[in-house]
Amino acid sequence: MSYQYDYTGVIHIHSVYSFDGRTPVPDILEAARINGIDFVMLTDHANLRAREEGFEGWHDNTLLIVGQEIAPRFNHYIAFRTNTPVIISEDEQDMDPQIYIDHVLEQGGIGFIAHPDHGGTKMFHVKHFPWMRWEATGYTGMGIWDFMSDWQSTLSGYLKTLLSYLYPAFFLKGPKKETLLRWDQLNQNHHVVGIGELDNHDSVKRVMGLNVSVFPFMKAFKLLRTHVITEKPFAKDTKKDIELLLRALKQGRAYVAAEYYRESNGFSFTLADKNREATMGDEFILDNEACLSAILPSIAKVRIIRDGIIFREEVTHKLLCNIRQPGVYRAEAYLKIFGKYLPWIFSNPIYVK
């Protein structure tokens, strides 16, 4: 298996180029550099200004990829490798998302359904922004864990809100059950790549007479990340490296991790027999029996999920099990912090035929 280079990134963030963002791109890149982020996938609303103004590319050891968020009232979509922004007017808010999915494909781009089960929060009057049109086709994948909507779902009282703001990683619930269920169901029929979304704006909210940043990028970048596994190392060539990363992401060679308490570098999820080895995103033809392996950098509660159902669960740093049946297999890991198992790692599947 040649896929061995693990790059840490954040997907779906907003800069000053979004109407609801305020942080200049250089400040975002500096926060990424300090946090050791290998790549940042920027998704400002309905524009590619960061690319037009020369920001796409390498900045020290961080690669900036400029995408866009297509955001009518519902059915938000984040797209990459596009040449023109998709702008939806006020009288087009009910547009069929198939139109802009197809438009992204026509440009040679890839796209992901954003925060599909976004519920908003009544306490702070945040609207809900779910995906409504599941009959759509042609999308590359979907967000399986969105930091901002996860965090917002914890805001149920002023004391809890304060604690959740100060220690957000401890209060995260992980991907919603309905999101994972739908993802598992979709993967029975075709490959749907799962990604983590930060959806951070560094917005300022007025709370008890004080202006509060939700959240500074320096803090947000410590929370939810997406790792992409490539077959080659970065060459520090912008065009080649963007294509390398997006190709691996499109193939599903990725996992999502909450890394405030512990980084996940060193995680692997593979399936092998005497002749072949597969990793996340791969199809594997099962002759008789093969060994599934989930290796983690620390002891955790590890689950192997087959077709949406728990297949195996152990507290370990290395789970090995033989499989004899086809199915869609993925891994989850939960890290024990202060006596509580917190969601940590969610892999993309291996498709066993």
Selection from 168, 22, 10 nearest residue 78 by Cα: 10
- Which residue carries 């509660």 as its tokens? 301
Type of residue found at 257: A
Q: Give the pLDDT score at 3.
A: 63
Task: Identify the sign of the CA torsion 200, 203, 205, 210.
Answer: positive
Q: Where are the alpha helices (DSSP H) in 44-156?
A: 49-52, 97-106, 147-152
Is 80 within 8 Å of 45 (Cβ atoms)? no
Report pLDDT digits (tens) over 161-218.
889 999 999 999 999 999 999 999 999 999 999 999 999 999 887 766 778 888 999 9
Beta strand pairing call for 5-13 and 290-306: unpaired
Question: How far apart are the C-alpha atoms of 82 and 107, rounded to whole Å?
Answer: 6
- CATH of 5-258 among 1.10.3720.10, 3.20.20.140, 2.40.30.10, 3.20.20.80: 3.20.20.140
DSSP letters, 209-244, are TEEEEE--HHHHTTTEEEEEEESS---S-HHHHHHH
User: Which residues of the chain, if any, have pLDDT below 50?
Assistant: none
Matching CATH topology for 5-258 and 268-352? Answer: no
Q: Give the pLDDT score at 155.
A: 87
Q: Give the pLDDT score at 208.
A: 66
Instruction: Name the phi and psi angles at 235, rounded to 5.
Output: -105, 0
Where residue 199 falls (left for φ over 0; alpha for ψ -120 to 50; beta otherwise) is: left
State yes or no: cis peptide before 80, omega within 30 of 0: no
Is 244 within 8 Å of 238 (Cβ atoms)? no
Q: Where are the domains of the chain?
A: 5-258, 268-352
- CATH of 268-352 among 3.40.50.300, 2.60.40.10, 3.40.50.920, 2.40.160.60: 2.60.40.10
